[in-house]
Each structure stands twice: as C-alpha cells, then as structure tokens.
Chains A and B, each alone.
Chain A
Amino acid sequence: MDVLANLALGFGVALTLKNLAYCFLGVLLGTLIGVLPGVGPLVTIAMLLPITFGLDPVSSLIMLAGIFYGAQYGGSTTAILVNMPGEVSSAVTAIDGYQMARQGRAGPALATAAISSFTAGILSTLVVAFFGPMVGHLALEFGAAEYFSLMLMGLVFSAVLAHGDLVKSLAMVVVGLMLGLVGTDVTSGLPRFSFGIPELLDGVGFTVVAVGLFAVSEIVLNLARSGPVEVFAKDVKDLMPTWADIKASTMPTLRGTALGSFFGALPGVTASVASFSAYMLEKKLAKDPDRFGKGAIEGVAAPEAANNAAAQTHFIPTLTLGIPATAVMALVLGALTMQGIQPGPQVMTTKPELFWGLVASMFVGNVLLLVLNLPLVGVWARLTQVPYRWLFPAILVFASVGNYSLNNSAVDVYLCAVIGVFGYVLAKLECQPAPLILGYVLGPMLEENLRRALLMSEGSFTVFVTRPISLAFLAISAALLAAMVMPAVRRGRARATDDADAG
C-alpha cells in the first residue's frame, strides 16, 4: 500500500527530534497565544510567522501547522470560559460551552472539546493522507483554464459564505484582487500600483495585510466597545466528563468530523461554516432541541470536531492545488512560497517529505495538543483572565516588529497602519475582511492563469466552458450565486449567519 509507505516516510521526518521539538513549540505557542481573549488563529499565525522564516521548509510547515491547530484549540478554551471567541469558528462552541461553564461544568466542557478535537484531528488526518494524493493526481490534469475556474469558485464560495451582504462580499473579493496586483507584473516587468515606493515592487506583504486587516482593526473595535466580561476560570475542576457525557458526545464528534472534513477540503469554505453546520445538524437530530443553547454537551463536541477536522483538511487544496482554502491557509501558503516552494500537484512527487512529513506531524501534533491541554487546562484558564489592556499593546509590539523585519524597512510598518485604518472603516461598514484576503492571495495566480488560458485559446473565452472540469467549477459557482439571489435561500442564509454571529 502506497499510503503506508508514504506515512512511514512522513513519520521518519516528523519524529526526528528537531521536528518533534518544532511541532511541540508550535502547538505550545499557538495554544498560549490563541487562548488569549480576542486573539484568533489568523492573528496568532501572522504574529508568529517571522519566527518560522529561519527554519527549513519542512520544519517551518510543521511548526506553522502546530501553531494553527494550537491556536484553534486555544480559541475554544477562551470561547468556553470567557465567551469571547477569537474567531467565528469558536463562536459556535461558545453558545453551549459558555452555558456549561456558567453551570459550573467548565471542566467537562473543556475536556469534551479537547477529546472531540483530538478524535477529529486523527480521523481527518487520515482523510488528508488518503484523499490528498488523489486530489493531487487529479490536479496534474489541470491546465490554466481549470485553475482559473477553480479559483473563481473558491472566491465565490468565500463571498457567499461570508456573513452579511453578498454584493459587498463580492466587492471585497475584487478589492482583494486589486490589492494583490500591487507590485511588479511578472510577464511585462512593469510595476503596477507601486506609487514609486521601492518596497511595493514586491507587492504588499501578506502579514502586513493580515495584521492590519485583522489585528489592528479588531483592537480598535474592541477598544471602542465597552461592557464587562464574565470569566469562569475559577470553576475549572472535575475535569473528567462523566460516562454519560462521553456517550452523549461520541456520535456528534463523529458526525462533526465527517462534516468538517468535507467542508474543509473545499476552497473558500472556512472552518466556521463547518462548525456551524455541525451544530445545526446536532440540533436537528436531538430528541429535545431545546437543550441547545443551554449547555448541551453535543453543542460543544460536534462543532469542535468539525472545526478541527476542517482545520486539517484545509491542507488538501492548499498543498495539492496550491489554492489556499482560507485566510489562515493563505498565510501558510505565503510562508511556503517565501521558502522557495511553489505548492501544487508537483509537491507530492518532488517533495514527498514535505507533504507526508506534515501529515505525520498532524498525528503527532494532535497527540501533543491533548497531552498539553488536559493537564494544563488550569494554566490556560488563568491566561484567559489577562486583561485586554495588557494584551493589545503586546499584540501590536509583536506585529510591528514582525512587519518591520520583513524587509528591514519602516515602510511595511506604515502600510500596516494604513491597512489597519482601512480595515476598521470596512469593518464598521460591515464589509467582511475574509473574502478580501482570499482575493488578495489568489489575485496574482488568477491573473496568471487567465492570461495563460487566453494565450493558449487564442483569446477565446470558450476555453473555460469547453473543458469539462473547468465547466463544472464554473457551473457550481453560477449555481451558488443564482441560489443566493433567490429570496427563500437568502432569508435562510441571513438567519443562519446571524445565529452564528449571535453566539
């Protein structure tokens, strides 16, 4: 069996002392920062990214992945204890997790979250191991037209699934695409939108965009908002869930894993969609749906499993197609590109140790996460009490030094400030940043593939509809958009995204 041999290769890479150490460090730092209230995985990764630049590609990818699921898990802890999730995906967990904490059952809620995440992590890593190569194989057939249509589909997904107005989300995609054009045009060598600033010739750095758009604007939003936050950190005892808890959460965990694995593999679909659908599914299946929102353990297990499963399967499109599924994956992809690796179907054959090392490290990382989290939950709980007035200057410090270090230049720091203002204004106008950042990352690839497809078809757009795979992607995108315009679906979507937001 091919997969087994490859997994053996992967474990050979992941279990070296060095990579084990980086995996551990990543998971630890990720959890440590992710657990801080108001700091989501995206900001965590953007802040910690410079630390990984000095490592070799495999180690840096392993560490980044560790940071990612560490941060994701840390966010759930915060969601349960403080009801202040760092990202939307944990917001779903907060609905019932926080209620459990208020009823003095913070311990079992945290343990259930940890166990569900672990189970989902292991199972979905198997999904990555089996389906990743298949997707990669399929993608070898892809030409420029297929890539263009696939990316277009990802962008449409990200706009459709973003919370809020569809037209504004689509517009945000376009703003992102335009932002991605800044820099030297690869074909003609002409600098575009660089305003004579030499630092802009290489484009706007992705950590600059991510930090400005997410960290800076988020901090201003938090500072302008008021209201005390209830914390239940003192109540964390009796960690172990009861037998009844475990029985009640087993099936939800498995169903959440399945949903999460599926959604995670689609480009443009964020983990929050996965965790929200898992939550809704459990609510539908439950004998007494009334318990949901009042501390139902299924409401913690299912979204946590979905969340974590999606976090792993996001790596399938990112690594095998070179198309990042989400903003976080865009950062990972950017980091790889900086390391001189062009993710795509070739990665599997030219750099098997990278892909399989990562897959193996996911197993290792999930074990580490469980080992780290169950005993240390008290420490994490205390961290959630760090006052925000200490946190946000610290976030700014790491983000700013990190941005400065990109080019050893203050220009990136200034840019980050400008994008922060821009991001804040957009956030107040209820324009979602997630579609923008996906557009920003895909922009150059989208243009390149459009150009190549048109070059080969001698300027005829029919190439996108005569090739069956490309046509399928376009048809799905068109169907999605058409469905969104139908009033019934629109109302349902508004209700769904509002519910997720209310949590």
Chain B
Amino acid sequence: MKTRLLDNRDFLAGALFVAIGAGGFGIALAYPFGTLQQMGPGFFPRVLGAILVGFGLVTIARGLRSGERVEGGWGWFPLAMLTVSIVAFGWLMERVGLVPSLVVLVAASAFAGREFRWGEVAVLAGVMCLLSVAIFIWGLGLPYPLFAFEFGP
C-alpha cells in the first residue's frame, strides 16, 4: 500500500521531531559547549537535539515502511477558530479590558463548534463574564480593568 507522504502518520511525526531536534541543535550552537567536567549551557541542548534527530529518523523510517495514515480528517477549522479566539483574547485584554475580551473569546470559540446558537452564546458569554469577574477580579483581586480603550502606539 502506497501512502502519500503528507498522509503518512509516522513520516510526519518523524519529520517534526527531526525539525525540532535540528532546530534546537542549531540554536544551541551559539551557546558555549563547555567540557564534560564543566558543562556549558550549550551541552545539554545539543545532546538532546542530536538524540531527537535520531529518534525522528527512526520514526521516519518506520513510517515509510508501514505507511500508516493519519486517522480521521484534520479539524483545521475548529483548530483555526480556537487559535484565533485565544490570540484575540490575549490581544484585546491589553487594550479593551476583561469584559469585551471575554465576549469575543466565548463567541469566537463557540463558532468553532458545529452548533452555534446566538441566544445561547449570548447567555453563555454573560455568565462567563460574571463568573470571571467574580472569581478573578473580586475573589483574587487581579488588577484588570473591566472595560478600557487603550490603542496607544
């Protein structure tokens, strides 16, 4: 059975490991290696990077031999929506305050699911705002403004 490389589960996993290992190794080249007796900050990362590349290559080889596919489709849409909603929350928190950020987070993430109902999402956003304000602002005393408008440079 021939599997396309982009569907080949272990090939992809191995490639990811090789990339991380090689990347880490490369970056760690800038750190002093030291000696065995006086391990420098570059010692451990380089060793780990090399080991990871090794494991990655083994995984690639196994993937090419077994040809197992990635099971089920990729959920790119929910993944993208969730990522966007989390990033938007962080970005907005520093600019418009807690409440609007939460509303955006709840609405955008709820949109990632297949069942999106405006009424429900509105209620959910309201409840979440109340709960978060009660727990984080009043309960834990975190110093975040509920509403703000700070789009400075």
A residues near B (Cβ < 8 Å) are 50-51, 53-54, 165, 167-168, 170-171, 174-175, 177-178, 181, 185, 187-188, 190, 192-193, 216, 219-221, 223-226, 388-390, 392-394, 396-398, 400-401, 404-405, 408, 410-414, 416-417, 420-421, 424-426, 428-431, 447, 450-451, 454-455, 458-461
Contact = CB atoms under 8 A, between A and B. Distances in A.
Given A190-B41, A224-B73, A389-B113, A420 B83 contact: yes
Given A193-B24, A421-B83, A414 B37 contact: no
Nearest to B36: A459
A225 B72 contact: yes
A410 B93 contact: yes
Interface string B19-56: 01100100110011001111111011100110110011
Given A193-B24, A393-B124, A429 B12 contact: yes
Contacts, number: 196
A17 B34 CA distance: 54
Nearest to A458: B37
A430 B75 contact: no
Given A171-B56, A223-B113, A429-B16, A177 B85 contact: no
A185 B38 CA distance: 14
Contacts of B105: 393, 396-397, 400
A185 B41 contact: yes
B58 interface: yes
Contacts of A170: 55
What 4 pairs across the A-B complex have the smallest Cβ distances? A224-B75, A413-B90, A459-B36, A410-B90
Contacts of A411: 90
20 contacts: A50-B140, A165-B10, A170-B55, A174-B55, A175-B17, A178-B21, A187-B41, A188-B41, A219-B78, A220-B112, A221-B75, A388-B113, A400-B86, A404-B90, A413-B89, A414-B90, A416-B86, A428-B71, A429-B9, A429-B16
Q: How large is the interface on B (under 10, 10 to 19, 20 to 34, 35 or more residues)?
A: 35 or more
A413 B86 contact: yes
Contact of B24 (A178, A454, A461): A178
B140 to A, nearest CB: 6
A13 B14 CA distance: 51
B37 to A, nearest CB: 4
A114 to B, nearest CB: 28
B118 interface: no
The SS class assigned to the A binding surface is helix
Given A223-B112, A224-B72, A430 B13 contact: yes
A178 B55 CA distance: 14
Contacts of A181: 44-45, 48
A188 B78 contact: no
A193 B23 CA distance: 10
A440 B25 CA distance: 17
A47 to B, nearest CB: 11
A401 B133 CA distance: 10
Given A174-B48, A175-B17, A178-B48, A167 B87 contact: no
A171 B12 contact: no
Contacts of B55: 167-168, 170-171, 174
A225 to B, nearest CB: 7
Given A167-B55, A224-B75, A389-B113, A428 B70 contact: yes
Given A171-B59, A187-B41, A225-B72, A178 B79 contact: no
A219 B75 CA distance: 10
B20 A450 contact: no
B128 interface: yes
